[in-house]
Structure 1
Amino acid sequence: MDDAGRQAGRGRRGRTWARRTGTRRAAAGLAVAALAAGGITAVASPAAAATAAATCSATAAQVYAPPSGTLTLAPGTVLACRRVPDGTTSWRSVTSYQVRYVTTDRTGARIPTTGILMVPRTVWGPAALPVVAYSSTTVGLGRQCAASQQFTGGLLGGFVDDIEITAVSDLLNDGAIVALSDGVGYLEGQTHTYVTGLNNGHAQLDMARAASRVPGAGVAKAPRVALAGYSEGGHSTLWAAQLAHGYAPELDVRAAAAGAAPVDLKATATNLNGGLYAGFLADSVVGLSTAYPSMPFRSLLNPAGIKATDDVRTQCLAGTLATWAFRRIEAYSTDHLTLEQIYAVKGPDGTWGRVIDAQKVGVGVGRPGSGATYEIGFPVLDYWGSIDDVIPPASQAAGAKRLCDAGVAVRRKEFALGVHATTIVAASSDVRSWLGARLNGIPDAGNC
Structure 2
Amino acid sequence: MVAVAVFLTPASATAQAANARTLVSATPIAGAPAGALAYRIVYRSMTGRGGQAEATGIVIVPAGAEPRAGRDIVAWTHGTTGIADACAPSANSWRLSIIAGLAPMIQQGYIVVAPDYLGLGSAGTHPFLVGADTAHAVLDAVRAARDVRRGRTTGRFALWGESQGGHAALWSGRLARAYAPELRLVGVAAAAPATDLVANIAGDGNAAVRALMTSYAGVSWSQIYGVPLSTVTGPVGQDLMRRLARRCVTLDGLKLGTKIGLARMIHVLRDVDLAALPRWGELMRSNSVERVPLGVPLLIAQGSADVIIAPSVTRSFATAVCRAGQRIRFIPVAGGDHVTIAKRTSEQTVEWLRERFAGRTDPSDCATL
Give the AA of the match of 1:82: A
Q: Does 1:200 align with 2:134?
A: yes
Q: Percent identity?
A: 28
Q: Does 1:430 align with 2:354?
A: no
Q: 1:317 aligns with which of 240, 249, 266?
A: 249
* SS of alignment partner, residue 208 of structure 2: coil
* SS of alignment partner, residue 132 of structure 1: strand
Q: Does 1:390 align with 2:320?
A: no
Q: 2:37 aligns with which of 75, 91, 95?
A: 95
Q: Does 1:177 align with 2:111?
A: yes
Counterpart Cα distance in 1 of 2:193 and 2:315:
10
Give the AA of the match of 1:356: M
Q: 2:124 aligns with which of 190, 197, 208?
A: 190
1:300 Cα deviation (Å)? Answer: 4.2
Distance 1:425-1:380 versus aligned 2 partners, 3 A rule: same
Q: 2:94 aligns with which of 142, 149, 158?
A: 158
Give the AA of the match of 1:268: N
* Cα distance per residue 1:230-284 (max 9 Å; x no partner): 1111110011111112222221111111111011112122245523674344323
Distance 1:305-1:439 versus aligned 2 partners, 3 A rule: same
Any residues of structure 2 matched to 1:90-169 within 5 Å, and which?
90-92=33-35, 94-124=36-66, 128-150=70-92, 157-159=93-95, 164-169=98-103
Aligned to 1:295: 227
8 Å Cα contact 2:76/2:99 also seen in 1 = no
Bigger mean CA deviation after superposition, 106-115 or 257-266: 106-115
* Cα distance per residue 1:176-210 (max 9 Å; x no partner): 11111111112455332111111111211111112
Q: 1:356 aligns with which of 284, 288, 310?
A: 284
Bigger mean CA deviation after superposition, 124-133 or 412-421: 124-133
* Cα distance per residue 1:329-369 (max 9 Å; x no partner): 56447xx7512xx33334xxxx2101101121134x34xxx
8 Å Cα contact 2:72/2:154 also seen in 1 = no
Q: Does 1:259 align with 2:191?
A: yes
Counterpart Cα distance in 1 of 2:331 and 2:15:
41
Aligned to 1:327: 263
* Cα distance per residue 1:62-101 (max 9 Å; x no partner): xxxxxxxxxx9616422x213232334x232x22222222
Distance 1:272-1:163 versus aligned 2 partners, 3 A rule: farther
- Please give the root-mean-square deviation of Cα atoms over the aligned residues, in Å: 3.1
8 Å Cα contact 1:278/1:324 also seen in 2 = no
Aligned to 2:160: 228
Distance 1:343-1:278 versus aligned 2 partners, 3 A rule: closer
Q: Runs of 5+ in structure 2 lacking a partner?
A: 1-5
8 Å Cα contact 1:113/1:184 also seen in 2 = yes
Aligned to 1:54: none
Counterpart Cα distance in 2 of 1:170 and 1:280:
32
Distance 1:377-1:406 versus aligned 2 partners, 3 A rule: same
Q: Does 1:408 align with 2:341?
A: no
**Structure ID, larger Rg:** 1
Counterpart Cα distance in 1 of 2:346 and 2:205:
25
8 Å Cα contact 1:74/1:102 also seen in 2 = no
8 Å Cα contact 1:277/1:324 also seen in 2 = no
1:298 Cα deviation (Å)? Answer: 4.6
Counterpart Cα distance in 2 of 1:320 and 1:297:
27
Any residues of structure 2 matched to 1:28-43 within 5 Å, and which?
32-33=7-8
* SS of alignment partner, residue 181 of structure 1: strand
Counterpart Cα distance in 2 of 1:321 and 1:418:
20
Q: 1:213 aligns with which of 147, 150, 153?
A: 147
Aligned to 2:25: 81
Aligned to 2:3: none
* SS of alignment partner, residue 200 of structure 2: helix
Give the AA of the match of 2:309: I
Give the AA of the match of 2:28: V
Aligned to 1:60: none
Distance 1:76-1:180 versus aligned 2 partners, 3 A rule: farther
Counterpart Cα distance in 1 of 2:146 and 2:231:
44
1:409 Cα deviation (Å)? Answer: 2.1
8 Å Cα contact 2:15/2:21 also seen in 1 = no
Give the AA of the match of 2:57: G
* Cα distance per residue 1:363-409 (max 9 Å; x no partner): 4x34xxxxxxxxx2210111111221210001001111222122122
Distance 1:125-1:144 versus aligned 2 partners, 3 A rule: farther
* SS of alignment partner, residue 124 of structure 2: coil
Aligned to 2:236: 304
Counterpart Cα distance in 1 of 2:334 and 2:9:
49
Any residues of structure 2 matched to 1:24-63 within 5 Å, and which?
32-33=7-8
Distance 1:105-1:378 versus aligned 2 partners, 3 A rule: same
Q: Runs of 5+ in structure 1 lacking a partner?
A: 1-30, 42-71, 151-156, 367-375
8 Å Cα contact 1:126/1:219 also seen in 2 = no
Give the AA of the match of 1:279: L
* SS of alignment partner, residue 340 of structure 2: helix
